[in-house]
A and B are shown apart, each in its own frame.
Chain A
Amino acid sequence: MKVSRNGSRQTIAALVEDRPGVLTRVASLFRRRGYNIESLAVGTTDEQGVSRMTIVVEGTSEVGDQVAKQLDKLIDVINAAVLDSTESIERELALIKVMARPDQRREILDVVEIFRASVVDLSVSSLIIQITAANETIEALTDNLRPYGILEMVRTGAIALVRGEDTTQVVEFEDDELRRFHMESGRIPTGQLPHLSD
């Protein structure tokens, strides 16, 4: 990772309750406070009912700290922290569809190999290249592929973990009843609603 703590991008890891509205609350906070999201990736964790968001924002480390504190204020955010880029591993997956005439394929495959990317689809005139790497590496690969003609590309947004034994957080256990309340409140109950006349 080359981005320093004082660089112009900050990576924030947030553990959030997996419940209706949590993404809206987070998105609404960014809109309201005028923070610029570069990427946002959400997925489940090994703890039932808890999701993890990795958010990359533009700005100084002060902005990163403010974002983390504002996120932590949301009740549905269990905790949020700015990740120190030197102390964490950050990865992103990208799929890049690039034009490749048969006579150019060899050249492109060399580039793919140098970047430890792989080819996952091939047609007469195009390739889809898959890469899992840090943000800067993906930028470098796309720079190298651009001369051949990038038809389209998609990126997942960064995910990150702190290096070593440290974890970002310990999640308090929630009993089944409480978890059901938290996960279901705001959702229309499954099954037939009781018929209630006025």
Chain B
Amino acid sequence: MSKISGADIVLRCLQELGVDTLFGYPGGVVLPLYDRFPQYPDINHILVRHEQAAGHAADGYARASGKLGVALATSGPGATNLVTAITNAHMDSVPTLFITGNVTRSLLGKDGFQEADITGITMPTVKHNYLVMRPDDLAYAFKEAAYIATTGRPGAVHIDIPKDVFIEEAEFSWPETINVRGYNPPSTAEQDSIQQAAEIIDQSERPLIFAGHGIILSDAADDLRKFAEKSGTPVVNTLLGLGSIAPDHVLSYGMMGMHGSYWANHAASNADVIIGLGMRMDDRALGRFEDMNPTAKIIHVDIDPAEHQKNLETHVPIVGNVCDVLKQLTNTVQKATHPDWLSWIDDLRIGHRASMSVPEGPELTAQYAIARIADYIGTESVLCTGVGQHQMWSAQFGAISRPRQFITSGGLGTMGFEVPAAMGAQAACPDRSVWTICGDGGFQMTFQEIGTMVDAKLPVRMAIMNNCYLGMVRQWQELFYDQNLVDVDISQPDFLKIAEAYGIKGIRVDNQEDVDAAIEEAEATEGPVLIDFRVVRQDNVWPMVPAGAALSETIESAEESGMS
């Protein structure tokens, strides 16, 4: 067998893995790899403007497509710039592969130019990482890395490759099998635990499902619907679980948690049996753990056993892939209906609908703009967000109806995610309309990527909810820091001039009446397009469960919070 360079081996590995798109930024030590890109025209390298964006784009690509997202950076600063994106992807269990170059092997550990101990840095924020010291090991490392990233609870995996490993030659053979004896991702659950759970569900009068990101990651939306329908169990979603069940389904009750609905949160507090599916009992979803619902029996299905009993005591922990476990549960539970329980929640929904509605009035609010966008673009589009008030309003009014429609940074809460993640989603879904709801703060963190969108012809529609404030921070200062507003009143550049500078269309909207026309124009324009929605400055996200409060303490308005 003839020998090829390590760089060629890396690219052959990507071909074997079916990777057709990666996001990256060149630099000294990865030049041997970039040198070979022209020989692999089936691998589309998208050149970003900042490595963090390459990472978020790979993340958005993976969330939108379900495929492995790949990002590439050079050593030192290139690699450290990836760290936020790596942490973000891993926190939300997104299957991603991060490749970095490093200094030549003989310089490792000698503090050479642009050397960073990047495997040491990423170690606590990845599922696994590698420093590959021989070109013969590259194929093993890539096959194992992709396997680990995409199976079990998916996550971020990082491979670091010294420059001379790209140059040294070795034989390439794609390993037929891999054997990772410290890693055995579960599939179906043990029948004992299924039986135990089914008995509890069959005897329940007020069962409730918490459906999380796991449903989407394991393509289990159909299984969720079938299980909920057979057992007559209503469903509430975590933020990242939105899309696992359509909002118009009779058993669907929307989002729970810090900015979830009054009825979803009270259903959670009043259920007698809670079935957590592919969610990790996070503090933002559950409020104060000990008072979430102390009397309910809790069944917790997760592929990662370390999530069981971590935050909340669970009566029946079930380890397994949620799509398999749901089939097992559906086969085991008895058919049931719970009309009294559903009408109890329905009554709450009717009585408290106001706090989950677009505010009435003539002013241009972010809620109104987001609801109009969602209505116009429909469920076949992709809706991305940044982090903050606009994110919560997108969750509330985005009418998220299908898996992979909604792309948002949940666990890490990364401002600046909106623009690059949407770019990645657009690369993954060239035939879908991709919209990203941006905060005026977050947009300013990563808008340099408009340049990438222009070059790579990624027609993302960016809608800035511009209130000239770091809105969510201001909301917390108003509510919990005695209205002492500090460093939240930020000046804005003229966003239309930014659009103009990048040669894309920019539209400004100041009034409610102009919203529909702007959305229509943006959809009709060959993107990218930017819309600057100048929304009301003072507005807060309701309902809200204050940090450290219980879900039953959901506040629905400023008046109720004691703030006038």
Which residues of A line the B interface, CB within 8 A?
16-17, 20-21, 24-25, 28-29, 32, 62, 65-66, 69-70, 72-79, 171-172, 174-175, 178, 181, 184-189, 193-194, 196
B189 to chain A, nearest CB (A): 16
Tell me the complex Cα distance, A32–B133, Å. 28
B259 contacts the other chain (CB 8 A) = no
B491 is an interface residue with CB less than 8 A from chain A: no
Contacts of A65 in B (CB 8 A): 309
B180 to A, closest residue via Cβ: A75
Q: How large is the interface on B (under 10, 10 to 19, 20 to 34, 35 or more residues)?
A: 20 to 34
B140 and A181 form a contact (CB under 8 A) = yes
Question: Are B181's CB and A62's CB within 8 A?
Answer: no
Q: Which chain A residues border B127 with CB–CB below 8 Å?
A: 75
Chain A interface main SS type: mixed
Asked whether A172 lies within 8 Å of B179 as measured between CB atoms, the reply is yes
Q: Which residue of B lies closest to A17 (CB)?
A: B182
Interface string of B116-137 (1 = CB under 8 A from A): 0001100110011011111001
User: From residue 102 to 157 of chain B, which have CB atoms closer than 8 A to chain A?
Assistant: 104-106, 108, 119-120, 123-124, 127-128, 130-134, 137, 140-141, 148
- With A185-B132, A187-B133 in contact, do A73 and B304 touch (Cβ < 8 Å)? yes
Complex interface: chain B residues within 8 A of A194 (CB): 164, 168
Residues of B within 8 A of A172 (CB): 179, 181
A58 to B104, CA, bound (A): 43
- Would you call A186 and B119 a contact (CB within 8 A)? yes
CA distance A65 to B308 in the complex (A): 10
Taking CB atoms, residues of chain A closer than 8 Å to B308 are 69
Contact A186 B131 (CB under 8 A): yes
With A69-B306, A75-B180 as known contacts, state yes or no: A186 contacts B148, CB within 8 Å: no
Contact partners of B304 in chain A: CB under 8 A: 73
Cross-chain contact A184 with B306 (CB below 8 angstroms):
no
| C-alpha gap A17/B183 in the complex (Å) | 12
Contact A77 B182 (CB under 8 A): yes
Flag if B164 contacts A196 (CB, 8 Å). Answer: yes
A65, B130: Cα distance in complex, Å: 28
Query: Can you name 29 A-B residue pairings with CB atoms under 8 Å?
Result: A20-B131, A29-B124, A32-B124, A66-B309, A66-B310, A69-B306, A69-B308, A72-B306, A74-B182, A75-B180, A78-B181, A171-B181, A178-B179, A181-B141, A184-B134, A184-B137, A185-B131, A185-B137, A185-B141, A186-B133, A187-B133, A188-B105, A188-B108, A188-B133, A189-B105, A193-B164, A196-B104, A196-B167, A196-B168
Known: A21-B119, A196-B164. A69 touches B305 (CB 8 A): yes
User: 3 closest A-B pairs (Cβ-Cβ)?
Assistant: A69-B306, A172-B181, A75-B128
Interface residues of B in 356-400 (CB under 8 A from A): none
Q: In chain A, what residue has the closest Cβ to B177? A: A178
Closest Cβ of chain A to B552, distance in Å, is 26
The complex places the Cα of A62 from the Cα of B317 at a distance, in Å, of: 14
Q: Are A193 and B106 in contact, with the CB atoms below 8 A?
A: yes
- Residues of A within 8 Å of B310, CB to CB, are 66
Query: Quick check: A73 and B106 within 8 Å, CB to CB?
Result: no
Known: A28-B123, A78-B181; 13 extra A-B contacts, CB below 8 A, are: A16-B182, A20-B131, A29-B124, A66-B306, A69-B308, A70-B306, A73-B306, A171-B181, A178-B179, A186-B119, A187-B133, A189-B105, A196-B104
B284-307 vs A, CB cutoff 8 Å, 1 = contact: the mask equals 000000000000000000001110
Chain B minimum-CB-distance residue to A75? B128
Cβ-defined partner of A184 (8 Å) among B120, B133, B164: B133
Q: Distance (Å) between the CB of A10 and the closest chain B CB?
A: 14
Contact indicator A75/B182 (Cβ below 8 Å): yes
* Min CB–CB distance A161 → chain B (angstroms): 20
Kindly state the separation between the CA atoms of A15 and B284 in the bound complex, as whole angstroms: 35
Whole-angstrom CA separation of A63 from B124 in the bound complex:
20
Across the interface, which residues of B come within 8 angstroms of A72, CB to CB?
305-306
Give B152's nearest chain A residue, CB to CB: A73
State in angstroms the CA–CA spacing of A20 and B182 once bound together: 15
Q: Which residues of A contact B130 (CB under 8 A)?
A: 185-186
Residues of A within 8 A of B108 (CB): 188
Report Cα–Cα, A174/B183, bound state, in Å.
13
**Chain B residue with Cβ nearest A80:** B182
Residues of A within 8 A of B124 (CB): 28-29, 32
CB of A76 within 8 A of CB of B182, answer yes
Contacts of A25 in B (CB 8 A): 123
User: Which of B108, B141, B168, B310: most chain A CB closer than 10 A?
Assistant: B310
